Amino acid sequence: MALIQSLRDKSGQFVKSALIPLLILATAVAVFVYFKNSKPVQPPVEIKQKVWPVKVISVAIDRISPLHSLYGSVESNAMVAVSAPLSGEVAEVTVKPGDEFKAGDLLIALDDADLNLPLRVAQADVEDVQAQLDLEKLAFEANEQKLQNEQKVLEFKRTDVSRNSKLIQKDLTSQTTLDQSKEVLVRQEFAVVNAKLAVQEHQIKLAQLKARLDKSKANLEQAKVNVQRGRVVAPFDGRVTQVKVSKGDRVAPGTVLLSYYGYNSLELKAKLPVFVMPSVYQSFASGYALQANAKVAGMNVELPLVRLAGESSSSGVDAYFKLPESLKITRPGDLMQVSLVGQPQEQVFAVPYSAIYGADSIYVVEAGVMQVKTVQNLGETQVNGEAYALLKDSTGSITNGTQVVVTHLPNAISGLKVAVVQ
């Protein structure tokens, strides 16, 4: 019995020692399950696409003229260079480079003595030739009268020879008398020939003298022209560009004295880019008058396009614009920026340049996302004094009120969500 009791005590102690770890383990598991079930539940993460804030402009389809910015320089199409008509001394110089003058103003003059001396010589030559011509006419009249007289004497001599020939047949005269009358006849015939030659020579001498007279008169006219050219009088209002001589200088024929231009000859020469040329050619062909606008010294001026250069190059063609009277203050060589106003285009619209991607793409807002549209770039125009791109949509998908994105996004793509902001 004691043995049994001892075994029972030992088994009880074993059971107790085995249950304690199990209880601890069960307690730990229960605590773990409790904390696991009681921890806060995190909501699932929802991935959303970013919405980009953008500014837009509402399209207004209209009839608008394209503008093309051009740069050019002022030129004169009639620069006058005055040369000395003859050798002489400069007597007067009334202007300096840059001076303005009015029509009729004296600009420069050679000495009157140098101008009038050739004129007097030419006048005397005309009078001399005219006198010789008058003398030749008198000589012609005398020669004609002499020819008539010589021909009458010739008839008398022929009659005398004929009479002596008849007398010698009747032995009423001698052979010597007949021979003498024949000799006289031959001499008279020679005299008639000389008289005829003198009359015929008159026509040649008359033609020569008339030619000399014409030449002398031409020299006289040239001398008169030289007198006028020796005193340079302004033919129109203008400005002096250069003065090559001073008072007292001795100049030779052809020496450049000064140069000037008229205000009416001023024009602006600007290069038309290659992409603008087709529309300009079309306007010229249709008779549409193009012009350019410029702002100079606070003034808005218009410059009509008068002509294009006869040749073009790979960079474009030169265009010439007439300068108005208000721009006569400009000088050849001045640089100007102008805006060429093209022929009005139908069904076009204007947007800021920030709205353009590449050369021919813009984005519009449709249902909160961006959609790309391909357009035709026709140039530039002005909206409230700012430069805008002039576009045309050939597909007809862009209408009045279409919202065009003007915020330039580097990651722009069709389908990108955007939010329109003011």
Per-residue model confidence (pLDDT) at position 306: 93
Per-residue model confidence (pLDDT) at position 46: 56
Cβ atoms of residues 107 and 94 within 8 Å: yes
Per-residue model confidence (pLDDT) at position 178: 65
pLDDT one digit per residue (tens) for the chain, 422 residues: 554 555 455 555 655 566 677 777 777 777 667 666 666 666 665 556 688 899 999 999 999 988 888 999 999 999 999 999 999 999 999 999 999 999 999 999 999 888 888 888 889 998 898 888 888 787 777 777 777 777 777 677 777 767 767 777 766 667 777 667 777 767 777 777 877 777 777 778 888 888 888 999 899 998 898 888 899 999 999 999 999 999 999 999 999 999 999 999 999 999 998 888 988 998 888 889 999 998 887 788 999 999 999 998 888 999 999 999 888 889 999 999 998 998 898 899 999 999 999 888 999 998 889 999 999 888 888 888 788 888 998 788 898 989 999 998 888 888 889 888 87
Per-residue model confidence (pLDDT) at position 151: 77
